[in-house]
Amino acid sequence: MSKSSSKATLLTFALATVVFISGAGADEIKLPDMGSPADAILSANDEVQIGRSIMRDIRNSGQVVEDPLVNEYINEVGNKVAAQTNDGDHDFTFFVIDDHRINAFALPGGYIGVHTGLLEASRSEDELAGVLAHEVAHVTQRHIARAIHANSRQSLLSTAIMLGAMIAGAAGGGGDVMQAGIAVAQGTAAQQQINFTRSNEHEADRVGIAALADAGFDPYGMASFFDVMSRQDSRAPDERAPEFLRTHPVTSSRIAEARNRARNYPQVRSEDSISYGISKIRTIIDRFETPKEAVAYFEKRPYQNQNELERYGRLLAYLRDGSYGKALDIVENLVDRNPEVIAYHIALGDTQVLLGRHAEAIDTFEEALKLFPRNVPLVIAYGERLLELQQPQKAHILLLDLLNNVPPTPDQARLIARAANEAGEMAESLYYLSEYRLMIGDLVGGINYLQQALRLPELQEIQRIRFEARIDFIREYMTEEQLRRMQHTPPPSQSARNVA
């Protein structure tokens, strides 16, 4: 999906959503509102539904980084901050977008996106946490719903256009797209809406800095990152300014205000976690077009002069370049020096597999699991290696234990479907593929896979009961159009392998 078509999809969805929420007549809008005034236009449940649909579009675009190590890290930091400002009414999902532009955004319903460019541009974990705290505050303070409520006196079409513009801007369209949509919707009142948006930014700063300090990060982290961005802006023409500045305008007065707020909290001397450095290294190495370029980058400094993270990057570059022997020397040293880092154990097991030392690799992963049971990146890496080593039954059991305790991502659901398929457990494979289709918003496809599973001659009675109950559950959430389409949709291929 192209970026332009993705934006159009988001805008179309937003317009349709507002029309659906607002109803057919003015009488519905005038009903008493016993909660937040914003609920009269956009309820918290509506926000969740909008955010979920946008997130499905983003996932389908292929831009979401599926690296388990990076995903676990960004969710760890994000949830640590969110726990300090969340009143329990919001569930948060943090994800990384493969985009070198420096930006971050908040979607309705608690979806927080961070570009790889921002992760690379941050100079410390405190700065990264500051950006996440700011975006979390946009969600907890319900800024999109409040912006719509502030314009509730405008026509329904005006409100719909503004919501669509705001969502398109948050999802990557940039501040210019957002403000253009507002201008179309409100004409001469555009400046008033822009000022309201700026007030949201200042409120997100205030709430975010408090959460940042309460979570144990340096409260100056947010102001520090703003300062970095403002200096980049002064060195580049406006059309090349970082996307972050287009969606989060930063002024000297805003930076000064953020610093003044940080002074109200105790000073924190924090050190970057090793996971922060590893996540940055993994995003950096992904930007190189060829393995040779990656090797050249990490060989710029002599090995003996490199720090631990630079050596980790060198190791990953060697693995991509096929220099497995060189990689083994580095990773064995890293594990010996710092055995608490899960990424090093994963890299050691991967290297041993690539060298054909399969028994040693199994031992490495098994020992790591004893140290870090049910760690998501470790289990996913081990499951993938087991499939490469033609041990699908063991991989299926391993992944099932994890995913019964940790909600899977769509990619992880496809992985366990592949493991079950290769282990000859077709019914379970079709069940996991059904769950994958549901995760990406395809309810019809989800039911079709379950119906295919019900036709298997080897199906056990307990499976039949479970699958039929799941179909009944899904149907409760389907529209009449989806139900009609399901009746005319051919069943999926008999082989789950093609889909997985």
DSSP string, 154-209: S-HHHHHHHHHHHHHIIIII-HHHHHHHHHHHHGGGHHHHHHHHHHHHHHHHHHHH
The verdict on 58 and 199 lying in the same domain is: yes
Count the domains in the chain: 2
Q: Which of 262, 281, 306 is the last residue of a domain?
A: 262
What are the distances in angstroms from CA 316 to CA 50, 283, 380?
38, 11, 18
Q: How far apart are CA 15 and CA 159, in angstroms?
A: 9
The verdict on 76 and 223 lying in the same domain is: yes
| 304 found inside a domain | no
Tokens of 74: 């960004």
CA-closest candidate to residue 138, choices 205, 187, 93: 205
The single residue of 47, 127, 135, 243 carrying the catalytic annotation is 135
- For residue 432, the enclosing domain spans 374-499
First and final C-alpha spacing in the chain: 20
Q: Which of 236, 262, 288 is the last residue of a domain?
A: 262
Residue tagged 């700011």 (tokens) = 134
The verdict on 42 and 171 lying in the same domain is: yes
| 439 found inside a domain | yes
The verdict on 380 and 255 lying in the same domain is: no
Has 87 been annotated as catalytic?
A: no
Element (H, E) at 276: helix 274-286
| 347 found inside a domain | no
The verdict on 239 and 386 lying in the same domain is: no
The verdict on 252 and 382 lying in the same domain is: no
Q: How far apart are CA 300 and CA 92, in angstroms?
A: 40
Beta bridge partners of 94: 112
CA-closest candidate to residue 320, choices 299, 290, 346, 358: 290
Element (H, E) at 81: helix 68-85
Task: From first to last of the 500 residues of the chain, give the pLDDT tens digit.
Answer: 444 444 444 444 443 333 333 333 333 333 333 345 555 456 777 777 777 777 887 888 788 999 999 999 999 999 999 999 866 677 899 999 998 889 898 887 888 999 999 999 999 999 999 999 999 998 888 767 666 665 554 544 455 555 555 445 544 554 444 444 444 444 434 444 444 467 788 888 899 999 999 999 999 999 999 988 887 755 555 545 566 776 677 778 889 999 999 999 988 888 999 999 999 999 999 999 999 999 999 999 999 999 999 999 999 999 999 999 999 999 999 999 999 999 999 999 999 999 999 999 999 999 999 999 999 999 999 999 999 999 999 999 999 999 999 989 999 999 999 999 999 999 999 999 999 999 888 889 999 999 999 999 999 999 999 999 999 999 988 888 878 777 666 655 544 444 44
What are the distances in angstroms from CA 147 to CA 37, 88, 373, 415?
11, 22, 45, 41
Q: Which of 212, 237, 262 is the last residue of a domain?
A: 262
The verdict on 242 and 383 lying in the same domain is: no
| 48 found inside a domain | yes
Has 271 been annotated as catalytic?
A: no
The single residue of 205, 218, 243, 425 carrying the catalytic annotation is 205
| 323 found inside a domain | no
The verdict on 102 and 227 lying in the same domain is: yes
| 46 found inside a domain | yes
Tokens of 449: 């896979």
| 102 found inside a domain | yes
* pTM listed for this prediction: 0.81
| 92 found inside a domain | yes
